[in-house]
Structure 1
């Protein structure tokens, strides 16, 4: 019952993370906002989540896991309802900040509760069940949210979460064991504020860099400088104070340190296809929203298959399971790099299933290996940093991929249009030109649009190449981890 309750609560919170991504066009029209303004609804939600996530360990020690979980689930559910009720852009951004900040402790605390409620021999099984929230949550939001928004309006995508949130809070109230007396630990305000400022500036750089042309903008330069200074203060303070906000000495555990690197890469490659493929298929390949939602949904089916397979793979060395999972991601990346704008639905569905299987296979051995040799007293604090790096990895890689697409599209469009010239003899051969024409303005406009489509496709292929390279790099780090026997010793 504890497992079912925390899985429900964390799945609902994971659903809210990407639900707004499919609603941005409708919300922009409803709020009469510019694309840059409506993007704040996503930016500030991620920002609030990233800032509050590291406090999960302190909050659990100070107030108890049960109280924090109940407050977070109830608070984020209420904020979700208020998002649907918002009548102005300012109100919507405010409620999205509260939604992300109040709900941020849910996933790391839920993960810690699951690991501590079952014996270590069952860690693989319960981690596979809990890990479905990592895959299914971000899938449920865009799929069902997009369907409700298309049938009714964008507000119903938020309303659909509220009844399930109430059920989750009720189940948590019934099943979670009472808290032990809280520990009166003082909050390390210096470390907390320094880390918060660093994370806030980094997230702003990632979110606004492409719009502002990165370091051509004074804002990006200032935010980068502040982030570097804040990180230095956090690092110097944490290494010299007796009770730091985050205990960096945990990084002396080899498996935990490698696990943080691997979960950072896992975050990079997990959400990126969900964000990139819908824009490619809708904007350039002409796919309707219903088919795009189906493709995202098949990724969830693959995730269930992947988590189910961990019941067998979990008996092996965790390094083998992670190598298989990241190897499947490499294959899916190579497959995506071979796509063109005439891709058929079956190919996309099979690739989505492969991605889901890979992500499902990775999560359980990654969790088991990361926390295998760590003292159980540090689980909540270590789990908060674990999920923080997963979120930062997602934000970083999505921004990097979008930048790659935009710059590659611009560069390739410029190179290819150089060939549209009266001096190019190929343009005068009817068999080669087909239905294209350079004799009229309409013909040139059609040709320009097609060149833009092909240039964009090259940009997406380059982004998928980064996705494949990151997955391949993860395999190298997997091989550095300690095996079960050495860890036990």
Structure 2
């Protein structure tokens, strides 16, 4: 396929873009849309908290494992055929999830969702990169980035609405119209690519990487409940994850036909881009995982209100990506990434000063700023990472890009919730040691009567308030940690080269201006 892409006319490119973006939004929406419906599923399936969590983790584990084979499967089957199979399978699996009658059924069907959905995001990205010429990659990635970023952000809002007014099953049924339209559009407008039957599938390498990802995900999922490395199970899973990853790297550099081409990592911009998208994954989903319990459990927002308060974050992302699409050929993308990192860190700094009486407008404003910042990171980062990458590595590269974002999200969520639990306990113990009936503060006239030391109800009320304050401080500690993680990623920009296409356009613009 030529670099100019398959869509030779603006109309053709637009139809291809709409078709692949329907599939992208459908898949990314499902990463968070089921979160708010979990309590309703738990009651319907008579499941425990640990059991119902598998509805989320089964999807994440299988999607992570099945993302890297996308490049090989696209070469063997043809990219268009693989895309059609993935969209059809994901849509059917969604319907099966909605119709599930037991916990084992819904976990099985969520695994099928993850298996088919894993290829959707990297395939859509590689198709758009090939559809548009290099000088328009920034605009194409802005459109693609909206789908990738808006899906997880709007997922809780849409999921809360569907669960509140309809049924949790509609969280999955909503995929049917998206899937049908995406199938029709891909079949009609997306051009076929030649199949490479000579491309060998490294089954041993795939098995090693799958075992490494599976062991890592199991360690992250069960670490908190098993008290982390004090549990032999977690130690074994950590050792297996490290061992299988090491064996995979050795296999990758020594095999004749490796599962992932080592040439991918010779491109400096792409390699640094993987590290930065890992950080973006941590902040994006970890923040979205922390805010709902903070708003619902501590502040007392209903599910729908929580969804509405989080929705403006997506508005900030869309505005940023539209601006980036216009600036990407004129401004050094590394400067835009730096601006995005700064805005995201600023929003997290503001969130680290939240109290249980925080006004709604401040929550909304910090969300808009954070969405704006993430929008300024995602598109320039994607463009910079792939502009210098050889075209033959694109499908494989987009799969690795998605994998690193997903692993970053998994690790980030695991770390922040572990720290949340540990710090809440530590803060509670510290506050409780200060709560004695002999303290002057407990004798003041304005001390609530409900905190009466001489009644069981009073002690319980006081303990509840102590727990609430301890949890609040723990949440703020998590927001502070993510702020420093974001700022710590900024020096990586020094390792990235400015894309040649941007530099050439800047020089051309300067020459034209001088001539005029």
Using the size of structure 2 for normalisation, the TM-score is: 0.92
CA displacement 1:5-27 (0-9 Å, x = unmatched): 11111111111121211111001
Instruction: Structure 2 unaligned segments of length 5 or more: list them.
Output: 1-14, 505-516
1:411 correspondence with 2:426: yes
Which residue is equivalent to 1:257?
Answer: 271
Q: Match of 2:180, SS?
A: helix
Counterpart selection for 1:308 from 318, 322, 328: 322
Alignment of 1:224-263 (within 5 A): 224-263=238-277
Which residue is equivalent to 1:203?
Answer: 217
Q: Give the deviation of 1:433 after TM superposition.
A: 5.9
CA distance in 1, matches of 2:154, 2:90: 17
CA distance in 2, matches of 1:350, 1:49: 33
CA displacement 1:85-130 (0-9 Å, x = unmatched): 0001110000000001111001001100100111000000111011
1:355 correspondence with 2:370: yes
Alignment of 1:3-18 (within 5 A): 3-18=17-32
Q: Give the deviation of 1:211 after TM superposition.
A: 1.4
In 2, are the aligned partners of 1:427 and 1:433 still within 8 Å (CA)?
no
CA distance in 1, matches of 2:125, 2:57: 25
Instruction: Structure 1 unaligned segments of length 5 or more: list them.
Output: none
In 1, are the aligned partners of 2:19 and 2:181 still within 8 Å (CA)?
no
In 2, are the aligned partners of 1:77 and 1:162 still within 8 Å (CA)?
yes
Which residue is equivalent to 2:512?
Answer: none
1:33 correspondence with 2:47: yes
Which residue is equivalent to 2:435?
Answer: 420
1:99 correspondence with 2:99: no
Which residue is equivalent to 2:390?
Answer: 375
1:273 correspondence with 2:287: yes
CA displacement 1:188-233 (0-9 Å, x = unmatched): 1111100000000101111111111111222211111111111111
Aligned residues: 489
In 2, are the aligned partners of 1:45 and 1:99 still within 8 Å (CA)?
yes
In 2, are the aligned partners of 1:259 and 1:370 still within 8 Å (CA)?
yes
1:441 correspondence with 2:470: no
CA distance in 1, matches of 2:327, 2:343: 14
Q: Give the deviation of 1:396 after TM superposition.
A: 0.4
Which residue is equivalent to 2:193?
Answer: 179
Counterpart selection for 2:162 from 148, 161, 174: 148
In 2, are the aligned partners of 1:373 and 1:488 still within 8 Å (CA)?
no
The Cα RMSD (Å) is 1.5
Q: Match of 2:35, SS?
A: helix
CA displacement 1:38-59 (0-9 Å, x = unmatched): 1111111000000000001001
Q: Match of 1:339, SS?
A: coil
Q: 1:434/1:482 Cα in 2 relative to 1: closer, same or farther (>3 Å)?
A: farther
Using the size of structure 1 for normalisation, the TM-score is: 0.97
In 2, are the aligned partners of 1:124 and 1:365 still within 8 Å (CA)?
yes
CA distance in 2, matches of 1:282, 1:31: 23
CA distance in 1, matches of 2:501, 2:268: 11
Which residue is equivalent to 1:71?
Answer: 85
